[in-house]
Amino acid sequence: AKEKGKNNCQFYTREMNASIEEKLVLLEGLRNALDDGQFRLVYQPKVELHSGRVFGVEALVRWEHPEQGVIGPDRFIPLAEESGMIVALGEWILRSACAQNKAWQDAGLPPLCVSVNVSPRQFEEARLVERVRQALDDSGLAPQWLELEVTEGVIMRDLQQAVAKMAQVRAMGVSLSIDDFGTGYSSLSALKSFPISTLKIDKSFVRDLGRSSGDEAIASSIIGLAHRLRLRVIAEGVETEQQRSFLRENGCDEMQGYLFSRPLPPQQLAALLSAPAMR
Ligand code: C2E
Ligand code: CA
Ligand code: CA
Ligand code: CA
């Protein structure tokens, strides 16, 4: 038994080394990935619940790693944050999303709002507002077709400064939404001072709609709260008809999830939106 315990111990150590090594390998690769053009964006439709109309898309980044294939953002965004790479990567994401949205408009697609995720370090960076303005200027995209998604955690780190920055973004005509709402710790009293237009219900509360009365209570409370603050509310991670019905019956405005569509490469998104049923 003692021998076995020792082996177990070695096993865990090897596993741990492997994950640290994996991090280092990815971190090393991240440095060149941007210059080598290994990142791409996919776009997930956002749908109005009462009409079924697609009014926007969320840009989500993917890394096409030369050896490892496609790597999801959960594996490299935290590394990019830690290493500071997120500022350059985030700028590329912002510029690409604006340029893509303008290209769709120029191609005659019904105009969409593109949402871009902004990570903590990127949001706190001094030149964020300037970078957003530059991305709009260079792409020719009108500001009302861009939205930034920020998490509660980002805002609560330095409330006053965050609110001031959000106000600058709003003043440009760009919208803001709070991502993963309900998982962070923003105080409800602070919420009323945020110059935002939308709350996004985190998918962890959406998963068990129709099965868990606790999650149903949370989801319907967020919807009620949002509406009383004159905000729109969107649910993410909607996978089933049951979840959609619950949300619609409880007055949620918008939804996003595999039930309607997975995140798609630009051409497939355009094809989906130009299909006759979508117009
Ligand atoms: P998020 O912003 O909360 O994005 C939602 C995630 O849920 C996405 O995962 C999306 O693909 C996934 N999703 C969409 N519909 C469904 C569904 O019906 N069921 C389930 N189970 N999942 C669904 P993804 O693309 O892997 O992104 C993960 C996280 O990585 C994002 O969470 C966001 O925090 C971060 N991220 C993604 N793209 C970017 C980016 O461009 N910049 C920054 N800073 N972060 C990003
Ligand atoms: Ca998001
Ligand atoms: Ca989210
Ligand atoms: Ca998230």
Q: Cβ neighbours of residue 237 under 8 Å, at least 6 residues apart? A: 202, 203, 204, 206, 207, 256, 257, 258
* Listed range (84-88, 158-162, 219-223) with the worst mean pLDDT: 158-162
How many Å lie between the centroid of ligand 3 and the Cα of residue 60? 11
pLDDT of residue 163: 93
45 within 8 A of 250, measured Cβ to Cβ:
no
Q: What predicted TM-score, i.e. pTM, was given to this entire model? A: 0.93
pLDDT digits (tens, 9 = 90+) for 106-121: 999 999 999 999 999 9
State whether the beta carbon of 60 lies less than 6 angstroms from ligand 1.
Answer: yes
Does the interface predicted TM-score (ipTM) exceed 0.90?
yes
State which ligand 1 atom lies nearest to the alpha carbon of 258.
18
The residue contributing the CA closest to ligand 1 atom 12 is: 237
**In angstroms, what is the span from residue 85 Cα to ligand 4's centroid?**
19
Q: Is the pLDDT of residue 206 over 90?
A: yes
pLDDT in tens, 30-86: 989 999 999 999 999 999 999 999 999 999 999 999 999 999 999 999 999 999 999
Cβ–ligand 1 contact at 148 (below 6 Å): no
Q: What gap in Å lies between CA 182 and CA 278, rounded to an integer?
A: 32
Ligand 1 atom 2 nearest Cα: 117
Asked if residue 11 has its Cβ within 6 Å of ligand 1, the reply is: no
SS3 163: helix
Query: 265 pLDDT band (50/70/90 cuts)?
Result: very high
Residues with Cβ within 8 Å of 99's Cβ and at least 6 positions away in sequence, in order, are: 138, 139, 141
Please calculate the CA angle 160-148-69 and round it to the nearest 5 degrees: 125
| pLDDT exceeds cutoff 90 at 94 | yes
Task: Establish whether residue 115 lines the binding site of ligand 1, counting it when its CB lies within 6 angstroms of any ligand atom.
Answer: no
